[in-house]
Amino acid sequence: MKNYKMDTLLIHGGATTDPRTKAVNFPIYQTSTYAQQALGQNSGYEYSRTKNPTRDAIETLIAELENGQFGFAFASGMAASSCAFSLFKSGDKILISSNVYGGTFRVLDKVFSNFEITYEIIDMRDVKLLESKIDSCVKAIFFETPANPLMQVVSIKELVKIAKKHKILSIIDNTFMTPYLQKPLDLGVDIVVHSATKYLGGHSDLVAGLIVTKDKNLAERIGFLQNSIGAVLAPFDSFLLVRGIKTLGLRMQKHCENALKIANFLEKHKAIDRVYYPFLKSDEGYEIQKAQAKAGGGMISFELNKKYDYKRLCQNTRIIVLAESLGGVESLLCHPASMTHASIPKEIREKIGIKENLIRLSVGIEDADDLIADLTQAIDLAKKS
Ligand SMILES: *Cc1c(COP(=O)(O)O)cnc(C)c1O
């Protein structure tokens, strides 16, 4: 473990230099297998599903960034969270926070349910409610903060306290914050999961997932599952992810700065009824967010006034691209009700606050004034006559 500050670790953490050639960028070991010196004698590498040097580079890097001990890289964020859910067995129950990523809900609801691993959705802002739901079947809590698309914040410290008291695992999806803004392992969380497809990769050019833990016993079980199930990250994608992470600090600073400017702009705009951004002082989660994260991140949602047509807004931006996903350098716009959250039935969607007029912005690192001008002209064009 290198004892550097975050901005240095981003560049020099993990296995950066090639030990053989001293190449400054760690090479892509595009190989499935490795020559063995004799029977039972190898260089530490036998087969690339089990271990690959380029994957080692990203796995050690993310472990250092999250202040953990053990990192694991997967073919997607869903492969990472599915690996974490594979720690459980029939009869076990996982409590999940409201508004977890749709794919996380789907894999529990439609896949792990087949193996009698059950879940219950809890509004974990209410810690008393959470505690009242813990019985002998409950083996873990799984949560996101801030959670998409209403950017709801839960207190990591409070949730960890409850998990420890009841001797159950705490698992967090830290995709929205990244270790640059929030370090859950330092607050006592057992397992951190990432969709590295988003901010960590940062350029919308790869799909990847990560797990980090400090616990040796958990790491052994996760490593076993990673190798047994086999959804590992490829060497080329491991390289791309290491490369993307080098600029994570600069990117996150700009994402956060731009997002705060845009959130302030939207909050004052007469066409906008409500803005959800956890670093706005008016936001319900502000105090907790300030206590546990460095900034508010790059994700904003807002409700457009009924005098405006949200469909017209979505099709009239010039710089901001209408697309799913988030966390890349380019700004993206999405309509949760018909895109990311379409699989949730309308009544439930409305109940949990995902209204028809809700729009989600993944704020990129373009010039903030250009983004604000783009939103201004698109909102103007969306006014109903
Ligand atoms: C995208 C996302 C995932 C799933 O990750 P993939 O890389 O798409 O499999 C999980 N959690 C959150 C918060 C996400 O945004």
Which residue CA neighbors atom 4 of ligand 1 most closely? 77
- The pLDDT score that the predictor gives to residue 149 is 92
User: Of the residues 107, 144, 175, which should be mutated to test ligand 1's pocket, given the most ligand atoms within 8 Å of the CB?
Assistant: 175
**322-368, pLDDT tens digit by residue?**
999 999 999 999 999 999 888 778 888 888 889 999 999 999 999 99
Cα 77 to averaged position of ligand 1 atoms, centre (Å): 5
Cα 36 to averaged position of ligand 1 atoms, centre (Å): 38
Strands in 321-322's sheet, in edge-to-edge order, are 272-276, 299-304, 358-362, 332-334, 321-322
Q: Do 6-245 and 249-382 show the same overall fold?
A: no
Q: 197: Cβ below 6 Å to ligand 1?
A: yes
- The pLDDT score that the predictor gives to residue 353 is 87
148 pLDDT tier (thresholds 50, 70, 90): confident
Q: What is the pTM of this model?
A: 0.96
What sign does the CA torsion over 91, 134, 195, 338 have?
A: positive
- The pLDDT score that the predictor gives to residue 210 is 98
What average pLDDT does this structure show over 364-374? 98
SS3 for 278? coil
Cα 107 to averaged position of ligand 1 atoms, centre (Å): 12
Per cent of the chain over pLDDT 90 is 92
Average pLDDT, the chain: 96
In CATH terms, 6-245 corresponds, of 1.10.565.10, 3.30.1490.190, 3.40.640.10, 3.30.960.10, to 3.40.640.10
Q: 144: Cβ below 6 Å to ligand 1?
A: yes
Task: Examine the pLDDT at 93 and tell me if it is beyond 90.
Answer: yes
Every domain of the chain and the residues it spans: 6-245, 249-382
Largest CA distance in the chain: 80
> Any idea which residues carry the catalytic annotation?
49, 101, 173, 198
Q: Which atom of ligand 1 is nearest to the CA of 207?
A: 7
* Cis, peptide link before residue 19, omega less than 30° from 0: no
- The pLDDT score that the predictor gives to residue 16 is 78
What average pLDDT does this structure show over 307-313? 97
Task: Examine the pLDDT at 167 and tell me if it is beyond 90.
Answer: yes
Question: Residue 300 is inside which H or E element, if any?
Answer: strand 299-304
**181-205, pLDDT tens digit by residue?**
999 999 999 999 999 999 999 999 9
- Please tell me the distance from the alpha carbon of residue 59 to that of residue 211, in angstroms, as a whole number: 9
In angstroms, the first-to-last Cα distance of the chain is 62
249-382 has CATH 3.90.1150.10 classification: yes
Cα angle: 102, vertex 107, 110; to 5 degrees? 110
**20-60, pLDDT tens digit by residue?**
899 999 999 999 999 999 999 999 999 999 999 999 999 99
Helices (H), the chain: 6-12, 53-65, 77-85, 102-106, 127-132, 156-165, 178-181, 216-229, 235-245, 248-268, 286-292, 310-315, 346-351, 368-381
Q: Which atom of ligand 1 is nearest to the CA of 327?
A: 15
- Please tell me the distance from the alpha carbon of residue 141 to that of residue 124, in angstroms, as a whole number: 10
Q: 175: Cβ below 6 Å to ligand 1?
A: yes
Q: 207: Cβ below 6 Å to ligand 1?
A: yes
- The pLDDT score that the predictor gives to residue 266 is 98
**238-278, pLDDT tens digit by residue?**
999 999 999 999 999 999 999 999 999 999 999 999 999 99
Task: Examine the pLDDT at 8 and tell me if it is beyond 80.
Answer: yes
- Please tell me the distance from the alpha carbon of residue 368 to that of residue 259, in angstroms, as a whole number: 8
Q: 237: Cβ below 6 Å to ligand 1?
A: no
